[in-house]
Structure 1
Amino acid sequence: MNETIKRKLDLLPNKPGSYQMKDKNGTIIYVGKAKSLVKRVKQYFTRPQVGKVMLMVQEITDLDWIETHSEKEAFLLEINLIQKYYPKYNILLKDGRMYPYIGVKRTEQPVLKIFHKQTSKAYDYFGPYPDSNAAHKVMELLNRTYPVSREEFTPGKPSFYYYLAKAENLVINDDEINNFDTVRDKIKKFLNGDTSEVISFYRKKMEEASDNLNFEQAGEYKQIIQSINATTEDQKIMMKDKVDRDVFAFSTREGYVCMLFLLYRKGILLGKNLYINEVTEDLNEELQTAICQFYLNHPKPKELIVSDESLGESLKQLLDLDIVVPTQGIKKDILSLALENAKAGLDAHFMTARLEDDTLDLLKDLQEKLHMDRLPLEIELFDNAHTQGQDAVGGMVTYVNGKKSPELYRRFNIHQPNKADDMASMREVIYRRCSRIVKDNLKAPDLIIVDGGITQVEAAIDAISRSNIKGVKLAGLVKNDKHETNSLMDGDTGELIPLDKKSPLFFLLMRMQDEVHRYAITTHRNKRAKSLFSTFFDDIPGVGDKKKERLLNAYPTMDSLLNATVGEISQLTDDKTARLIFDKIQKSKKVEENLNKKAKTLFN
C-alpha cells in the first residue's frame, strides 16, 4: 500500500457511495459500492485477500469515490460506472446476444426496418425474433405482399411507389393503396400473428393459377403459404399466459460463476444469454450488479424468475418489474431448466479450458517436430484458388494458440500474368504478406504453413528470402500419390516428417488445412460471382444500358438476382425479356450448385 492510498483511506467518509480502484496508469480496474465507504474500502488493505481479489489489490495504486444519498443510489451509480469504464475485475456482460425486432415507423408512408435495440420512439416494434434470419424472412414476406418501404423517401433513393411496383402481390385493394394508415394496420396485424387474411389471399391466388393451368405460378404461391406457416409454427407456446418473462439462474464452481437468462416472449422461449466470470466480491452483490447491468442493454420483461430468496428480495428494491421465486408448477420447471443450462455452461467452460491445455501440448509436439526454438503460438496458412486461371486469389488464415482468428484472415487478388501457375501465385502471395509485415513493422507469425509439396515450399522459401523477413519458420503440408496429406515438410531442411493419422496433432493440422481450403475457395467464388454479375445482362437480347441499370438497382447482388422470380422481373421489363433473364438465372444456379458440390467433396 503506497502513501497515496494511505492518505486517501483516512479521508474516506462513513457514508454510502461508489468507489473506483485504479492501476499505475490511472485506469479504473474495479468499481464497487458500499453502505459505508470507509469500512468497505479499508477491508481491501487491512484483511488478508486470496485469488482474484489478491491480484487486484496488488495492482491498485490509487483510488477514488463518489458519495451518494443512499445505498440504492450507490448501486445504480456503480452500474453506470461499470458500463462506462468496463473495469477488468468487475463482472462484465459485454457480449450478450441482442435479438432482432421489426420496426414499423409511424410516418405517412409505411416504413419497415430491423432493429436490435428499441432505441427510436418513432417506431412500433414487433418481436423479438430468434435470429436475424427469421426477421429477414418475415420482412421478405411483407415486401412481397404489401407496398412497404425499407427506408424513408429522399431524393436519389427508392420511394414508396418503387416498392409498390416491386410488390409481387397485394393483399389490399386499389382503394386502399394510398391509404397508408390502412396498409400500416394490416402490416401490424400480420406481425401480431394474425396471418389468416394473407394465407386466404394466397390460397385463392394458388387455386386460380392452378385452374388456369399455370402450375409454376401456383407452386410459387404454395411456397409463400408454407413460408408464412413456418414463421408461426416454429414458435411453440411454452407458457399459456403469454407473459413476457425472463428466468435467471446461476451455477458456481472453483471461483467462477455461470449466469444464464432464459428469455420468454409472449409465452415463447426465444433464446438464452449466458455469461461466465470469475467471482471477485460477495456473490449475491455481484449477481445483483450483473442482472441490473443486463437490463441496461436489454428490454425489461414484465416478470423475472429467480431461484434465490435473498437475491429476489434485493432485486425488488432495484428493478421495476415483478420478481418471482417459484416453489412448484411450470415456473419451477422452467427455473430447473435454466439451472441445468447454467451448470452445463460452466461444465463446458472448464472442458474448454482443459482442451486449451491439450492444444498447448499439440503445439509443443509441432515445435519439436519442426525443431523450432519457440512455440508456434501464431500460425499463418496459405492456399490459392482459381478456375482455369480466371479470378485467381490467395487466402491466408491465422491460428492463435491453436484457435482460428478470423479477424486476422487476409485475401489476395493474384497479379502475376500466368494465374494458373500455382507456384508463382504462392510466391507472390507470401512475398506480399511478408513484405507488408516488414514494411509496417507488424508482428510476424511464428510459423507459416503452405498447402503443397516441394514446389510450393520452394516458392515460399524464395518469397520469404526476398522479403527480408526474419525469424519465421516455414513448413508444407505434403500429400501422397492418393492426394491424402501424410507428412510435414521442414522448410529449413527439406526433411519429410511423417504424420500419424490417428494422432491429435494430425487432426489439428487437418482442421487448419480444411479451413484455409474453405477460405481460399470462398474468396474465389465471391470474386467469380462478382465478375460474372457485372456482365450478367450483357448478352441478353432486349436489355440495353437503361434497362440494365434498372435491373442492377433492383438486384444489387448475385444472391438477390438468383432468388428472383419471373413475376418480380416482369415488373421491371417485358414478359419476353423477363423469361430470358429467368432462364439465364436457372443456368447460373446450376453452376453454383456444381461449385457447392465440389466444395463439399473437398471438405467432407
Structure 2
Amino acid sequence: MNELLQQKIDLLPDRPGSYQMKDKDGTIIYVGKAKSLVKRVKQYFTRPQVGKVQRMVSEITDFDIIETNSEKEALLLEINLIQKYYPKYNILLKDGKMYPYIAVKKSGMPYLKIAHKATERKIYDYFGPYPNSSSAYKVINILNLCYPVMEAERNKDSSNLYRYLQQLTDPSYLKDGKVDPETVRKKVIAFLNGDTSQVISNYREKMNQAAEALDFERAEEFKEKIQDIEHIASSQKIMMKDRVDRDVFAYSTREGYISMLFLLYRKGILLGKNLYVNEIQEDIREEISSAIVQFYAAHPKPKELIIADTALQDELSAALDLDVIVPTRGLKKDLLMMALDNAKQGLDQHFMTARLEDDNIALLTELKEKLHMDRLPLEIELFDNAHTQGQDAVGGMVTYINGQKAPQLYRRFNIRQPNRADDMASMKEVIFRRCTRIVHDGLKAPDLIIVDGGTIQVEAATEAMRASGIKGVKLAGLVKNDKHETNSLMDGDTGELIPLDKKSPLFFLLMRMQDEVHRYAITTHRTMRAKSLFSTFFDGIPGIGPKKKERLLDAYPTMESLLNVTLGELEQLTDSRSATLIMDKINSLKVEQKRIDATVERAASQKRES
C-alpha cells in the first residue's frame, strides 16, 4: 500500500457511502458501497485477498468516497456510478431481453403498433408484454384482418372504405351506418385482455359461410386464423391465478462464480428469464443487492419480487419501492425453488461452455502445429461466395473465436467486379477488401484466414493479401479429394497438402466451420436475391398503380411475408382480379425459387470441389 492510500484510509469516516477505486491512470476500476466506509475500504488492504479481488487490489493507486445519509442512498448511488463509469471489476449486467408490448392509440381509431417500453408515449394504452416480436405482430395482423377499417383509415383510402366494410369479419362496430371508433376500441381491447370468444365466433361463422358456398380455400384461411387465435390464447394460460406482475430472483455459486436469475411473470404468465453469470468480486450479499437494483434501473419493475434471503428483504424493498417477499411455503416457495434450479443449470452450462473452450484450445493447438504457425489461431476468419449465374453475387465471412462462432463479427460483401460469375475474381475481391480494411482502419487482424477451396482459391487469396499489405496472417484452404469430400488442408505459405483424419475432433471442428461459412454465404445470397425480386414484384401487374403498390409494400414489407400471404388477405387490400394475379405470380415465384435454390446449391458444390 502506498503512502497516499494509507493517509486517505486514516481519514475515512465511520459512515455509510460509496467508494470508487482508481488505477494509476485515474480510471475508476471498481465502485462499491459500505455501511462503514472506514471498515470496508480498510479490509481490501489489511486482509489476504484471492482471485479477482487480489488482481483489483494490485491495481489500486487511489480512491475517492462519497458519504451518504443511509445504506439505501449508498446503494442507489453505487448503481448510478456503475452505470456512469462501467468499472471493469464490477458485475455489469448486460441488457437483458426486452419484451415487446402492443400499443393502442387512445383517441380516434385505435391504431396498433409494437413498443418495447410500456411508457413510451402517453397517447397509447399498452398491452403485454409478449414473449417476442413475432407473437405481438401475429396478434396485430389478426386484429387488423378482423377490423380492417383501422388500416383503411390509417391509409386514408376512402375509395376502398365501403369494400372494406363489406368484408369485415365483425361488422357490428358500425353505428348509424358509420364507423364508431370507440366500439372498435372496446372490441380490440377485449381481445388484448384475453377475451377471444367473439372474434373466434365471427371467424367460425365466416368459415361456415365460405364452406357452404364451396369456397374451401377461403374457409381454410378462416380456419387457420381460428387456430392462430387459439394458439395465442393457450400460450397465455394463467399460471398464477392472482394475475400479479412478479419476478422471482435466485442465485447459485460455484468455484468463485455466481449465476443470478430473474424469472419474469406478467399477469400471472411466465414470460421468460434473464440469466447472468459473473466471477464473484465482493461479499455475495452486496453483489446480489447491487445486481438486483442495477437490473431494475434498466427494466420495468413488477409489483412484487420474490427472493430467498431475508437479510436483503428490507434493503431491497426500500431501494426499489416494491414488495419484496421471502416465502417459506406454498406456490411462491415452489416458484423460488424452480428459479434456483434454473440458476444452478445456468451455472452448470457456464462451466460446460468453459470446458468446451478448453477442448477447442487443444484442437487449435493441433491446427497451429499442422500449419507451422508461431501462435495459436484463436481468431479465424473463413470466406465463401455465392451467386445465381452471376446475379446477386455476394461474399460471406464468418469468424470463430477460441473455436466458437462469433456471429456479431460476421460480414457480407456485395461483389463489385464486373464478371460476377468468376468465383476466383470474386474471392480475390472479397479478401482484398477485408484485408485492406484491417490495414487502413487499424483493426485487429485474425490469426488465420481459411478459404473454402483448393489451389486456385488459395492462390487468389494469396494475391489479394499481398496486394492489401496485411502482415502476420496465416492462410489455409480446405481441399476436397476426387470423391468431392474434404480431406486435407493446404498451407498457404508452402502449398503443402496436410491430410486430415476424418475421425479426428479437429476434422469435425473444421467441417463445422466449413458448413457455417457455406450456410452464411448461401443465406445472404438468397436474402439479396429476394430483395431484388421484391423491389419490382408488383411492377407490370394490371390494376396495380403506384398507390396500390405502396399500400401492398406497407402491408407486406418483406418477400417472406409476401410469400406467406393468402388470397383473402390480398383481397382486403386490392380488387379480386388484381389479388388473383398477384397470387398467381407468388405461386410461380415459389416454383422458380426452388429451381434457383437447387441451381445455387449445385454451383456452390461444384466450386468447392474444384
What's the TM-score once normalised by structure 2's chain length? 0.91
Partner of 1:376 in structure 2?
Answer: 377
In the aligned structure 2, how far is the partner of 1:20 from the partner of 1:160? 61
In the aligned structure 2, how far is the partner of 1:598 from the partner of 1:40? 69
Partner of 1:102 in structure 2?
Answer: 102
Q: Which amino acid aligns with 1:226?
A: Q
In the aligned structure 2, how far is the partner of 1:459 from the partner of 1:571? 53
Q: Equivalent residue of 2:248, what SS?
A: strand
Q: 1:486 to 1:201 in 2, by over 3 A?
A: same
Q: 1:367 to 1:325 in 2, by over 3 A?
A: same
1:11 is the counterpart of 2:8: no
In the aligned structure 1, how far is the partner of 2:344 from the partner of 2:463? 53
Distance apart, 1:229 and its partner CA: 0.4
In the aligned structure 1, how far is the partner of 2:160 from the partner of 2:452? 49
Asked if the contact 2:417/2:429 (under 8 Å) is kept, the reply is yes
Which is worse superposed, 589-598 or 122-131?
589-598
Which is worse superposed, 390-399 or 101-110?
101-110
Q: Residues 195-594 of structure 1: matches in 2 within 5 Å?
A: 195-544=196-545, 547-593=548-594
In the aligned structure 2, how far is the partner of 1:427 from the partner of 1:115? 44
Distance apart, 1:427 and its partner CA: 1.9
Distance apart, 1:325 and its partner CA: 2.5
Partner of 2:24 in structure 1?
Answer: 24
Asked if the contact 1:111/1:152 (under 8 Å) is kept, the reply is no
Which is worse superposed, 501-510 or 589-598?
589-598
Tell me the alpha carbon deviations over residues 514-549 of structure 1, each in whole angstroms, 9 at most, x when there is no partner.
111111111111121122223323343444556545
In the aligned structure 2, how far is the partner of 1:352 from the partner of 1:162? 60
Q: Equivalent residue of 1:507, what SS?
A: helix
For structure 1, the 5+ residue unaligned runs are none
Tell me the alpha carbon deviations over residues 275-303 of structure 1, each in whole angstroms, 9 at most, x when there is no partner.
11122221112212212222222222233
1:116 is the counterpart of 2:116: yes
Tell me the alpha carbon deviations over residues 165-197 of structure 1, each in whole angstroms, 9 at most, x when there is no partner.
879735243635643222222211111100111
Distance apart, 1:19 and its partner CA: 1.4
Q: Equivalent residue of 1:33, what SS?
A: strand
Q: Equivalent residue of 2:242, what SS?
A: coil
Asked if the contact 2:145/2:569 (under 8 Å) is kept, the reply is no
In the aligned structure 2, how far is the partner of 1:553 from the partner of 1:260? 40
Partner of 2:170 in structure 1?
Answer: 171
Q: 1:402 to 1:235 in 2, by over 3 A?
A: same
Asked if the contact 2:173/2:183 (under 8 Å) is kept, the reply is no
1:60 is the counterpart of 2:60: yes
Asked if the contact 1:367/1:373 (under 8 Å) is kept, the reply is yes
Q: Which amino acid aligns with 2:17?
A: G
Partner of 1:82 in structure 2?
Answer: 82
Asked if the contact 2:34/2:74 (under 8 Å) is kept, the reply is yes
Q: 1:299 to 1:432 in 2, by over 3 A?
A: closer
In the aligned structure 1, how far is the partner of 2:172 from the partner of 2:371? 74
Distance apart, 1:493 and its partner CA: 1.5
Q: 1:263 to 1:436 in 2, by over 3 A?
A: closer
Which is worse superposed, 473-482 or 142-151?
142-151
Q: 1:251 to 1:202 in 2, by over 3 A?
A: same
Distance apart, 1:146 and its partner CA: 2.3
In the aligned structure 2, how far is the partner of 1:417 from the partner of 1:211? 58
Distance apart, 1:385 and its partner CA: 0.6
Q: 1:566 to 1:61 in 2, by over 3 A?
A: same
Which is worse superposed, 358-367 or 81-90?
81-90
In the aligned structure 2, how far is the partner of 1:311 from the partner of 1:268? 26
Which is worse superposed, 449-458 or 263-272?
263-272
Which is worse superposed, 227-236 or 423-432?
423-432
Which is worse superposed, 532-541 or 383-392?
532-541
Tell me the alpha carbon deviations over residues 467-512 of structure 1, each in whole angstroms, 9 at most, x when there is no partner.
3322221111111222221111111121111111221111111111
Q: 1:548 to 1:248 in 2, by over 3 A?
A: closer
Question: Superposition RMSD on alpha carbons, in Å?
Answer: 2.7
Distance apart, 1:199 and its partner CA: 0.6
Asked if the contact 2:95/2:298 (under 8 Å) is kept, the reply is no
Q: 1:415 to 1:293 in 2, by over 3 A?
A: closer
Q: Which amino acid aligns with 1:19?
A: Y
In the aligned structure 2, how far is the partner of 1:586 from the partner of 1:551? 17
In the aligned structure 1, how far is the partner of 2:52 from the partner of 2:554? 57
Q: Equivalent residue of 2:244, what SS?
A: coil
Asked if the contact 1:533/1:558 (under 8 Å) is kept, the reply is yes
Which is worse superposed, 443-452 or 557-566?
557-566
In the aligned structure 1, how far is the partner of 2:601 from the partner of 2:293? 46
Asked if the contact 2:148/2:572 (under 8 Å) is kept, the reply is no
Q: 1:320 to 1:553 in 2, by over 3 A?
A: closer
Distance apart, 1:370 and its partner CA: 0.6
Q: 1:34 to 1:598 in 2, by over 3 A?
A: farther
Distance apart, 1:159 and its partner CA: 5.1
Q: 1:599 to 1:49 in 2, by over 3 A?
A: farther
What's the TM-score once normalised by structure 1's chain length? 0.92
Q: Equivalent residue of 2:174, what SS?
A: helix
Which is worse superposed, 227-236 or 554-563?
554-563
In the aligned structure 2, how far is the partner of 1:303 from the partner of 1:594? 56
Q: Equivalent residue of 1:173, what SS?
A: helix
Which is worse superposed, 579-588 or 301-310?
301-310
In the aligned structure 2, how far is the partner of 1:24 from the partner of 1:121? 45
Q: 1:484 to 1:172 in 2, by over 3 A?
A: same
In the aligned structure 1, how far is the partner of 2:544 from the partner of 2:316? 66
In the aligned structure 2, how far is the partner of 1:230 from the partner of 1:599? 37
Asked if the contact 2:164/2:572 (under 8 Å) is kept, the reply is yes
Asked if the contact 1:101/1:129 (under 8 Å) is kept, the reply is yes
Tell me the alpha carbon deviations over residues 381-421 of structure 1, each in whole angstroms, 9 at most, x when there is no partner.
11111112222111111222222222322222223333222
In the aligned structure 2, how far is the partner of 1:352 from the partner of 1:92? 20
Q: 1:345 to 1:551 in 2, by over 3 A?
A: closer
Distance apart, 1:315 and its partner CA: 3.1
In the aligned structure 1, how far is the partner of 2:210 from the partner of 2:523? 40
Distance apart, 1:593 and its partner CA: 4.8
In the aligned structure 1, how far is the partner of 2:159 from the partner of 2:427? 48
Tell me the alpha carbon deviations over residues 90-125 of structure 1, each in whole angstroms, 9 at most, x when there is no partner.
222223122222122323332322222223351322
Q: 1:464 to 1:99 in 2, by over 3 A?
A: same
In the aligned structure 2, how far is the partner of 1:31 from the partner of 1:478? 53
Asked if the contact 1:304/1:321 (under 8 Å) is kept, the reply is yes
Partner of 2:608 in structure 1?
Answer: none
Which is worse superposed, 278-287 or 412-421?
412-421
Aligned identity (percent) is 70
Q: 1:260 to 1:552 in 2, by over 3 A?
A: closer
Distance apart, 1:572 and its partner CA: 4.3
Q: Equivalent residue of 2:498, what SS?
A: strand
Q: 1:552 to 1:251 in 2, by over 3 A?
A: closer
In the aligned structure 2, how far is the partner of 1:483 from the partner of 1:128? 51
